[in-house]
Amino acid sequence: MKVPKIEEKGTQQTKVEEQKEVFAHLILAKKLLSQGDYDGSLRENQKALFLSGKNPPGDEALFNTGLIYSHYGNPKKDFKSSLEFFQKLLDDYPQSPLIDQAKIWIGVLQVIEESKKVDIEIEQKKKELSR
């Protein structure tokens, strides 16, 4: 029967359209990021991730989200969230070409978070000594 072939073609066409939509969100996310619209870029990456499921380019959306949360210009930067997104990339996309870069970011962000803890401890010791 030819009906399954028509359905397959329709499904394949739908997948192509979905991929186009995902890439459109990623392109817009990059444009918004370059304009300093971090919230808008996050939203577009989240849309791309949702549409991708656990398939590429969901890895790119996760990576971009990690970068946005650690971006020096982002007034809402959150290194812990950034770490979580890079780790999710490692967990969900072990074959991604972005794995090595994500591992580097994880290492850098862990050092930053650890140095914050040390700074807090130093300040607490200073307060104790000044009493």
Q: Which domains does the chain have, with CATH numbers?
A: 3-129 (1.25.40.10)
- Torsion, Cα 79 34 62 66, to 10 degrees, reads -10
Chain-centre distance for alpha carbon 74: 14
pLDDT of residue 2: 42
Q: Which range (8-17, 47-56, 85-94, 103-112) has the least confidence? A: 8-17
Structural contact between residues 102 and 90, judged by C-beta atoms closer than 8 angstroms:
yes
- 44 pLDDT above the threshold of 50: yes
Per residue in 96-123, pLDDT (tens digit) is: 999 999 999 999 999 999 998 898 999 9
Whole-prediction pTM value? 0.84
Percent of the chain with pLDDT strictly greater than 90: 76
With CA atoms as reference, report the closest residue to 60 among 39, 33, 30. 30
